[in-house]
Chains A and B, each alone.
Chain A
Amino acid sequence: DQQVKQNSPSLSVQEGRISILNCDYTNSMFDYFLWYKKYPAEGPTFLISISSIKDKNEDGRFTVFLNKSAKHLSLHIVPSQPGDSAVYFCAASHEKLTFGKGTLLTVNP
C-alpha cells in the first residue's frame, strides 16, 4: 500500500522555465510534508517543508503548495536551472517519514 505517490517518474523542462513536481498521499494522519533532492551516489538533501496547517511555503526559488482536501502537494521551482537536475522525493510524516518513489527532473540548458 503506497501511501505517498509521485506519479511522474520523470520530468524534463527548459532552463528558466517553471518545474512543477507533484505528489499525492492517502493517509489523512500525515501532518508534515517535505521535499528532498537527491543526486546520484549522495544522500537526499532537505529542500523545503510545509506543515499541514499551511497551504503554501516559499524559500527562494522553491515553493511548496499543499491542498489538504485533495491530499495533494506540489513543488514549484522558478526559474529552473541545470543544477536542479536530480531526483526529487516527496515525504510525509506521521510518527515516521514515508517517501514517494521520486521524480527525475532534467533541466535542459
Chain B
Amino acid sequence: KAGVTQTPRYLIKTRGQQVTLSCSPISGHRSVSWYQQTPGQGLQFLFEYFSETQRNKGNFPGRFSGRQFSNSRSEMNVSTLELGDSALYLCASSLGRLDTQYFGPGTRLTVL
C-alpha cells in the first residue's frame, strides 16, 4: 500500500506570496492532519480534516487554511507569506480520527 505523499517536496517563495501544499493520504484513510515543524518549536499541529470537514484547529493565524476533498486528499494554503513561515510542513493520515497517524515526507517551504 502506498504511503502518504506530499507535493511539492521543496518550495521557495518570497514574502507576501501565497502557497498551496498538497497531501494524498494512504488509501482508505479518511483523516488528514497537518503539522508545521521548525527547529525551535518542534512539530506543531495546524489542523485536522475528516470527511471534508475541519474537526480541529491549532493555534495558527487565519493566513493558514486548508481543505479536504471527497477522495480524502487535502490541501493547505498559506497566504501573505512571512519569513517565519519557513518550515517543514508535514501531513499525516489515519484511518479514523483517533487512529495512529502516518506521516508523509513533508514539504520544505523557504520564504525569502
B33 within 8 A of A: yes
Query: In the complex, what distance in Å separates the CA atom of A1 from the CA atom of B92?
Result: 24
Docked-complex contact A43 and B106, CB < 8 angstroms: yes
A30 within 8 A of B: no
B42 within 8 A of A: yes
Label chain B's interface by main secondary structure.
strand
Query: In the complex, what distance in Å separates the CA atom of A44 from the CA atom of B103?
Result: 6
Closest to B10 in A: A41
B71 within 8 A of A: no
Q: How large is the interface on B (under 10, 10 to 19, 20 to 34, 35 or more residues)?
A: 20 to 34
Docked-complex contact A95 and B42, CB < 8 angstroms: no
Chain A stretch 1-55: residues in CB contact (< 8 A) with chain B: 32, 34, 36, 41-46, 49
Chain A stretch 49-69: residues in CB contact (< 8 A) with chain B: 49
Contacts A99-B42, A101-B42; is A43 near B100 (CB within 8 Å)? no
Docked-complex contact B42 and A36, CB < 8 angstroms: no
Cβ–Cβ < 8 Å partners of B48 in chain A: 96
Chain B stretch 1-51: residues in CB contact (< 8 A) with chain A: 4, 6, 33, 35, 41-45, 48
> Would you give the shortest CB distance from B62 to chain A, in whole angstroms?
18
Q: Which residues of A contact B (CB under 8 A)?
A: 32, 34, 36, 41-46, 49, 89, 91, 93, 95-102
